Amino acid sequence: MCGIVGYNGNEKAVDILLDGLSRLEYRGYDSAGIAIEKNKKIEVIKAKGKLLNLKDKLNKKNLDGTCGIGHTRWATHGEPNEINAHPHVSNDGTVTLVHNGIIENYQELIQKLEKHNYVFYSQTDTEVLANLIDYYYKKYKMGPIDAINRTMVRIRGSYAIAVMFKDYQDEIWVARKDSPMIIGKDKNGTYLASDVPAILKYTKNVYYIDNLECACLKKDDVTFYDLNGDKIEKELNEIKWDVSSAEKEGYEHFMIKEINEQPDVIKKTINSLIFDNKIKLENANLNEEDLKSFDNLYIVACGSAYHVGICAQYIFEDLARIPTRVEIASEFRYRKPILNKNTLVIIISQSGETADSLAALREAKNKGVKTLAIVNVVGSSIAREADYVLYTLAGPEIAVATTKAFSTQLIAIYVLATELAKINKKINNEYYNELINEIKNIPEKIQIILNTLTEKIQKFSSKFSNIHDAFYIGRGLDYAISLEGSLKLKEISYIHSEAYASGELKHGTISLIEDNTLVIGIATQEEIYEKTISNLVEVKSRGAYVIVITTEDKDVSKVANDTIIIPKTNKYFSPSLSVIPLQLIGYYITVSKGLDVDKPRNLAKSVTVE
C-alpha cells in the first residue's frame, strides 16, 4: 500500500508529482506529501487527508524545482496525521525519503540510532530509514550507493524507497525489496512510481528494478547497481497499455468506467488465448506435456481473486475432473500445505504485488512445486517469479473495488479448465468446440446485460441506500459468485453483507432474516435451480425482500420482489454474466449513499503488506 512517485527532468516537478499521486491514490489516501529541490534546499510539504489538501497547500507556494519525490499514504505505523506523512527527513536534513512497505526491525534500529544521538519525531517505521541512510552516509563517507546498500543489508521487511540527498540535489536514488516500483524514461526526464498508471501519461518506456537493487535517476539517464555497488545493465520495456485507459473519460467514477470496459477487455483476453478456435497457452509457456503432468491444483489468492479461485474450484473439478483446492494466501503461507511434484500452484492476482500472494508463490517454489500466475500487471513481482504466466488483458484498473480484472481472471480460468479437460480426455472435440464458442460469446452477452439492466438497477438501487444488512445466496457457482457480489457491496457502501451457500442458511443465518431484509438470490445453475428457489421461498416467508438474478427461461415472479434477467450461457461460464448486475448493484447503492466509490475508506487496491 502507499504510493510513491518521483521525477527528475526539465519540467516543473510539482505538477508531474501531483498528477502521479492522484493516479496512485487508490493505494492509500490518508495523507500525502512531496519533496522538491529549491534553491539548493529540499523543501518538504505534507498534508493530512486526501491529495486535495496537499494541492491546496501547494497552491500557496511557488515551487518550480524540476526534481522531486512524492507519497500518498495508507497508514501502518502511526496514525494518519501530518507528522507521520511522508517524506521523512533525517535529523539534519541530509536525507529525505518516501517509502512504501514495512520495516520490521525498526524498533531495534531506532534504539541503535538513539545511541548515536539521533532523535525521532514520528511514530513511523520510515523515519528510521532516513536516519539509517544518513548514519552510514556520514560514517563511511562513500556516497549514496554505499549508504543505501548498507541500509538494505541492515533492514528487514519490504520497501520501495525514493531518496534525495541534500548534497546531490539533481539526483533521486531508489531501492526496493518486495514492494513494487517501476522506473520510466523519456526525453523530458526520468520517473519512478509504484505502479504504471502514475507515469503512463509521460512515458511507456520502463525499467523493472529487482529486489535488493538500487538505482540513480538523473535528468537524462538511469544507472542501476547491485548490492555490491557494481553497475548492472537493464533493458527498457515498452508498456502496451493505452494512456486513455487510465483516465475517467467522461464517466463519473473509474468503477463504472471499468464495469463498462468489461466486454472489450474480456474480448482482448480471449483473443490472447484462443486462436482459430483452439486454445493456445504457449504465451504462458505452458505446453501439453506440462499440463498433463499436473494431477492436482492448488489455487491461492486474496480478495476478489480468491473468489475467482472458488469459481475455479467448481469448474476444474467438474469439467476437467482435477482435484482442486483453493485457499486464501495469508492462510496458505502459514499452514503446511501438502503439495507434491504433480501439484500446480496457481496464484491469481490483479496487481501481481499482493504481499501474501507473493509469499505464497515463494513458499510453493521453495517446496519445488511448479507455479502458474494469472496476473494483470506485466512485469509485476508475481509475474516475474512464477514458472508460467498467463496475463489477463484488463488494462490498468484504478477503482479499488475490482471489476474488469476479476472478469478477465474468470476467462483465464475457463480457458485453462477447458484445455485441461481436453488434454485429460474428459470432454470430446464437439464439447470442446461448444465451450470455446460459448467463451467467445461472453463479451456480447455482457454487453446485453449492460445495455438492458444498467438503468433498471440504477433506479431500484436508491431504495436500498439505508439498509444495514444484505445477504447473497446461491448454490454451486451461484454461491461462488455470491461471495463476490457481497464483497462488492460491503467494501464500497459499508453496508454489512454476507454470502451464504443457500443450503447453509438454515444452520444459523436464517435467524437474521426479518421484515425487509435484503436477500439477493442467484439462480442460474439448472441442476440446483429448484433447491435455490426453495431456499428463497423460505427467506421470503420470513419477511425478506428478495431480488433474484436468473436466466430468461425462468419464472421467479412468485418469489421475487425484483427480478434481474440475464442471458443463458454454459453452466460453467455463468459467473461472468451474473457478476455484472452484482457489480452494478454495489456501485449504484454506493452512489446513492453519496460515498466515494473509487476510494472506499481503510482500503487500498494493492495490499503490499501482510
Q: Is 499 a binder of ligand G6P (CB under 6 A)?
A: no
Nearer to ligand G6P, 349 or 524 (CB): 349
What's the min distance (Å) between Cβ of 409 and ligand G6P? 8
Question: In the complex with ligand G6P, which residue's Cβ is closer, 94 or 576?
Answer: 576
Binders of ligand G6P among residues 373 to 402 (CB under 6 A) are 400-402
- 147 in Cβ contact with 137 (< 8 Å): yes
Among 354, 493, 502, 524, binds ligand G6P (CB under 6 A): 354
- Which whole-number Å values give the CA distances from 97 to 86, 161, 355, 398, 442, in the listed order? 7, 7, 22, 25, 47
92 three-class SS: coil
Closer of 470 and 492 to ligand G6P (Cβ) = 492
Sole binder of ligand G6P in the list 303, 309, 396, 476 (CB under 6 A) = 303
Place of cell 478477465: 408
Among residues 4, 446, 426, which one has the least CA distance to residue 193?
Answer: 4
What CA–CA distance (Å, rounded) separates 264 from 177? 35
Helices 303-319, 477-493: inter-axial angle, 10-degree rounding = 170
DSSP state of 209: P
157, 103 Cβ separation under 8 angstroms? yes
Binding test (CB under 6 A) with ligand G6P, winner from 8, 91, 194, 350: 350
* Pick 31 or 402: Cβ nearer ligand G6P: 402
- CB of residue 484 to ligand G6P, shortest distance in Å: 9
Q: Which of 2, 67, 302, 311 is catalytic?
A: 2
Instruction: At 377, list the grid cell.
Output: 500487471
Q: Distance between CA atoms of 562 and 19, rounded to whole angstroms?
A: 43
Nearer to ligand G6P, 37 or 261 (CB): 261
Q: In the set 8, 357, 486, 578, which binds ligand G6P (CB under 6 A)?
A: 357
Active site residue 55: no
Contact mark string toward ligand G6P, 248..287, x via CB under 6 A: ----------------------------------------
Q: What are residue 349's DSSP bridge partners?
A: 375
Cβ of residue 433: shortest distance to ligand G6P, in angstroms?
A: 32
What DSSP string runs through 401-464?
Answer: S-SHHHHHHHHHHHHHHHHHHHHTTSS-HHHHHHHHHHHHHHHHHHHHHHHHHHHHHHHHHGGG
Please, what sign has the CA dihedral across residues 426, 430, 436, 440?
Answer: negative
Applying CB under 6 A, which of residues 122, 190, 304, 590 lies at the interface with ligand G6P? Answer: 304
Contacting ligand G6P (CB under 6 A), which of 50, 593, 603, 610?
603
Select from 72-80, 191-199, 459-467, 598-606 the region that touches ligand G6P (CB under 6 A). Answer: 598-606
- The CB-nearest residue to ligand G6P is 303
9 close to 188: Cβ distance less than 8 angstroms? yes
> In the bound complex, what is the minimum distance in angstroms from residue 458's beta carbon to ligand G6P?
22
Q: Pick from 133, 305, 398, 413: which binds ligand G6P (CB under 6 A)?
A: 305
- The answer to whether 231 touches 223, Cβ cutoff 8 Å, is yes
Candidate list 204, 267, 490, 605, residue with the active-site label: 605
Encode 298-308: b = buried (16+ Cβ within 10 Å), e = exposed: bbbbbbbbbbb
The DSSP secondary-structure symbol of 229 reads: S
Stretch of 150-158, 292-300, 350-358, 414-422 lying at the interface with ligand G6P (CB under 6 A): 350-358
Q: Which H or E run contains 97?
A: strand 95-103
Q: Does 590 participate in binding ligand G6P (rule CB under 6 A)? A: no
- Does 302 bind ligand G6P (CB under 6 A)? Our answer is yes
Count of residues that bind ligand G6P according to CB under 6 A: 16
Question: Minimum distance from CB of 173 to ligand G6P (Å)?
Answer: 28
- For ligand G6P, the closer of residues 353 and 419 by Cβ is 353
Q: Which of 351, 486, 525, 576 binds ligand G6P (CB under 6 A)?
A: 351
Residue 605 falls in the annotated catalytic set: yes
Instruction: Please provide the DSSP assignment of 453-465 as one string.
Output: HHHHHHHHHGGGT
CA distance 130 to 120: 10
Q: How far is the CB of 119 from ligand G6P (least distance, A)?
A: 37
Q: Which is nearer to ligand G6P, 304 or 502 (CB)?
A: 304
Residues comprising the chain, all counted: 610
303 versus 443: smaller Cβ distance to ligand G6P: 303
With 0-12 CB in 10 A as exposed, 13-18 as middle and 19+ as buried, what is 366?
exposed
Retrieve residue 444's grid coordinates: 456480447
CB of 267 to ligand G6P, least distance (A): 21
The minimum distance between CB 357 and ligand G6P, in angstroms, equals: 5
| Among 507, 439, 448, 515, CA closest to 473 | 507
User: Which residue number, 45 or 607, has a Cβ lying nearer to ligand G6P?
Assistant: 607
Q: What backbone phi and psi angles, to 5 degrees, belong to 589? A: -65, -40
Of 291 and 607, which has the nearer Cβ to ligand G6P?
607
Binding region for ligand G6P (CB under 6 A) out of 296-304, 510-518, 571-579, 582-590: 296-304
d(CA 351, CA 195): 9
Cβ proximity to ligand G6P: between 350 and 525 the closer is 350
- Of 66, 349, 454, 583, the one binding ligand G6P (CB under 6 A) is 349
CA distance 413 to 363: 22
Q: Which of residues 400-429 bind ligand G6P (CB under 6 A)?
A: 400-402
**500-538: string of b/e by CB count within 10 Å (b at 16+)?**
bbbeebeeeebeebeeebbbbbbbbbeebbeebbebbeb
> CB neighbours (10 Å) of residue 143?
14
Least distance from ligand G6P to the Cβ atom of residue 349, Å: 3
Provide the binding-site residues for ligand G6P, judged by CB under 6 A. Answer: 302-305, 349-351, 354, 357, 400-402, 603, 605-607
Residues classed as catalytic: 2, 605
